[in-house]
Amino acid sequence: MDHLKETTLSTTPVYSGKIIDLEIQEVLLPNGNKSKREIVKHPGAVAIIALTQENKLLLVRQYRKALEKTIVEIPAGKLEKNEDPLECAKRELLEETGYECGSLEYLSSFYTSPGFADELIHLYFTDSLKECKEQQPDEDEFLDVLEVSIEEAEEFVKNQQIHDAKTAYAVQYVLLKRKLEKDA
């Protein structure tokens, strides 16, 4: 795929923050011209598709300052430095929902915004939730936990109460899984 490659000519750091960094790269395009790329660096994240014993999908409701609104998402969070994604997924599930889980199945990893950011999100599935303890959110994190049937979650997608890519993916994942199990 070398005919598509862009070579970095120079990198200008713009901002180094708590969660993200921003840098501008001057690049050499495949046709020999130059262009600029604005690049957000992110530590990566995990998200968990979790079904309760009653077959309900675990969701969290959270205010997202970037959107200036409260939205509904599957439990998720960013990786700490050198943290193993699986351990991160267990930690975030416990912190955000109070649930521990017996086992977590790794599904896949996806880039969320490849046009401007390197954020990679690792997706896990569990239907072996254990006893629910108290939430232990980060000190600057406030959220409500919801448990909804897959039919309710589908409705949330249709009426855009679910407005988040990973969560829409999660709802589709559970629907498709059920279809395949029913057909098997």
* The one catalytic residue among 68, 131, 139, 181: 139
Reference 175, options 158, 152, 150, 155; nearest CA is 150
92 is catalytic: no
19 binds a second copy (CB under 8 A): yes
Residue 91 engages a second copy in binding (rule: CB under 8 A)? no
Nearer to a second copy, 66 or 103 (CB): 66
The piece of 22-30, 79-87, 92-100, 127-135 that touches a second copy (CB under 8 A) is 22-30
Identified binder of a second copy from the candidate list 44, 58, 78, 96, rule CB under 8 A: 78
Q: How far is the CB of 76 from a second copy (least distance, A)?
A: 8
**Residue list 115-154, contact with a second copy (CB under 8 A):** 115-119, 121, 139-140, 142-144
DSSP 100-143: EES--EEEEEEES-TTTB--EEEEEEES-EEEE------TT--E
Q: Which is nearer to a second copy, 16 or 130 (CB)?
A: 16
Contacts of 129 (CB under 8 A, 6+ apart): 50, 51, 52, 53, 58, 99, 100, 101, 102
Window 46-75: contact mask with a second copy (x via CB under 8 A): ---------------xxxxxxx--xx-x--
Contact flag: residue 106 with a second copy (CB under 8 A): no
* Total of chain residues touching a second copy, rule CB under 8 A: 73
Task: Label residue 160 left, alpha or beta by phi (over 0 means left) and psi (-120 to 50 means alpha).
Answer: left
H or E element that contains 182: helix 165-183
